[in-house]
A and B are shown apart, each in its own frame.
Chain A
Amino acid sequence: MTFTTGDILPTRAFSIDRAMLKAYADASGDQNPIHQDEAFAKSVGLPNVIAHGMLTMALGGTYLAELFGGPEKIRKFGVRFTKPIIVAEGEPAKVEFSGTVTSIESGIASIELTARHSEQKVLGMATAEIVIDESVEK
């Protein structure tokens, strides 16, 4: 696949359910109960269990890696965590990624990434730089 400045990347949705939160907690070591224990989450003022921000970011990485030919192509990746994703029992939360190629220089594509859940952006200032042509990489 070739990329050009201004390209709109195809959207992809991920479904985040409680099993995914448990799997991410185990894989990442982040066992904070606000991501798994509904009673605990409510006791600290949250409406319900929330997804790990780093899980949402990681899903963004999965999205970009698939489009650009592998996780090793991603050289810079940054996000701001703006809204939590609430994950109620039996109600998987959908997060939808899209993106735009904002520039291409020296074999590196700069991407602006968007992550939406319930019509709201859950990541802010989400950008990545991805190698698209190793032969011209400095």
Chain B
Amino acid sequence: MIDPTIVGKRITSTKPFIVDQSAITLFCQAIGERDDRFAPPTFSFTFIISAFEESLKGAGIDWSRMVHGDQRFEIREPIKAGDILTLSSTVESVRSAAGNELISVRADIEREGKGIIQAWSTLVVRG
């Protein structure tokens, strides 16, 4: 049973991080994308997931039973090399369905105080 009091918990990255061209290029190469002028639309998940893990720490989750249920991005402006980003992560809901526990989490990515990307994930802990 996941601790329901984590709903609403929000964590913001303590220091901004800088996006490196080499990280974008490596990601593009791995997914067959030849255009590395901007980060691909799913690139941000590479750092979002660790924020989610941080948000869900201590909530009694068995990570070995965790699967990714769904994923959604809204991108106002794409990430590019040299961007200085901050990230916050919010636990939106926890619920049970068909013997599994479903956790909905949202990430908000800002560049110089402006929100550029929001991402929503449903993480499923198999029962």
Contacts and interface: CB of A to CB of B under 8 A. Distances in A.
B66 to A, nearest CB: 9
Provide the main secondary structure of the chain B interface: mixed
B73 A54 contact: no
Given A76-B75, A80-B69, A81-B70, A71 B38 contact: yes
A41 interface: no
Contacts of A59: 31-32
B71 A72 contact: no
B interface residue count range (under 10 / 10 to 19 / 20 to 34 / 35 or more): 20 to 34
A44 B23 CA distance: 31
A79 B39 CA distance: 19
Interface stretch (B2-10, B41-49, B99-107): B41-49
B67 interface: yes
Given A26-B30, A55-B31, A65-B40, 11 more contacts: A27-B46, A29-B49, A44-B64, A61-B40, A62-B31, A65-B35, A70-B35, A77-B73, A78-B73, A79-B72, A81-B68
